[in-house]
Amino acid sequence: MIPTPDLSHLTSEDYALTYEPAEDTFLFLDALESDVEDLKNSRPLICLEIGSGSGCVSSFIGQILGPSVLYLCTDINPHACRCSQSTGKQNKVSLECVNTSFASPLMSRLRHQVDVVLFNPPYVPTEYEEAHIAQQAKSISGAWAGGYDGMQVTNTFLETVKDLLSDKGRFYLVALKQNNIPEIQRRMLDEHNLESEVVLQRRAGREHLFILRFTIKKKVITS
């Protein structure tokens, strides 16, 4: 069993400003752990987490894959970037954190280079306006407000993730049942040629959480 990263350096003041790891985070760790052999065998070079928050998930995958991988993290919330950086340090994983929305300034440099993309997005269904204001505020409210059907923020990233993935790349996404999992899977296949599987799912209180893994669908060559 791979240990949960040490978060003892983070305080209640940090969690007033940054998303505190919760059931979704821990399900995400369990999903990565269940894929550990495939992840190692794919010999990744670059891992990118969008919305790294406390840095728990990137530090965890850093413990799995070791120091030969470049770990990039982004978060729209500057305090989350500071927490991710310190959590990496606390767990001896070197995390490069960028305070930005999604991977916007990195897109051209990382085009088809990223082997592992991770995103636990703000997935809670809210009013459109609430998600919009939360994204503008770049504060902790941006950790959960997902707009109509909870997909407003996620959908923006789903439009671009294919451009980041390497040929062997895999993309892990946290989603809620209300986000309409079959529709996400169908759309990603039809529009972006990304096939997917549910790696894990779990009920946690009122939430039914899913971890999806997307990979590029290979062309079948027929003679």
Ligand X SMILES: C[S@@+](CC[C@H](N)C(=O)[O-])C[C@H]1O[C@@H](n2cnc3c(N)ncnc32)[C@H](O)[C@@H]1O
Q: Which residues bind ligand X (CB under 6 A)?
A: 19, 21, 25, 28, 50-54, 56-57, 74-77, 80, 101-102, 120-122, 135, 142-143, 153
Question: Closer CB to ligand X, residue 119 or residue 214?
Answer: 119
* Nearest residue to ligand X, scored by beta-carbon proximity: 51
> Rounded to the nearest whole angstrom, what is the least distance from the CB of residue 77 to ligand X in the complex?
4
In the chain, which residue ranges form alpha helices assigned H by DSSP? 12-17, 23-34, 36-41, 56-65, 78-90, 107-110, 128-137, 152-158, 161-164, 181-192
Question: Closer CB to ligand X, residue 21 or residue 169?
Answer: 21
- Whether 80 and 95 have beta carbons less than 8 Å apart is answered as no
Determine the angle formed by the axes of helices 23-34 and 56-65, rounding to 10 degrees: 10
Question: Closer CB to ligand X, residue 13 or residue 190?
Answer: 13
- Whether 88 and 9 have beta carbons less than 8 Å apart is answered as no
Question: Closer CB to ligand X, residue 27 or residue 165?
Answer: 27
> Rounded to the nearest whole angstrom, what is the least distance from the CB of residue 122 to ligand X in the complex?
5
Question: Closer CB to ligand X, residue 22 or residue 189?
Answer: 22
Burial class of residue 205 (count of CB atoms within 10 Å of its CB; 0-12, 13-18, 19+):
exposed
Of 124, 101, 143, nearest to 209 (Cα)? 124
> Rounded to the nearest whole angstrom, what is the least distance from the CB of residue 157 to ligand X in the complex?
7
> Rounded to the nearest whole angstrom, what is the least distance from the CB of residue 219 to ligand X in the complex?
32
Distance CA 130, CA 93 (A): 35
Q: Position of tokens 């500071």?
A: 82
> Rounded to the nearest whole angstrom, what is the least distance from the CB of residue 223 to ligand X in the complex?
45
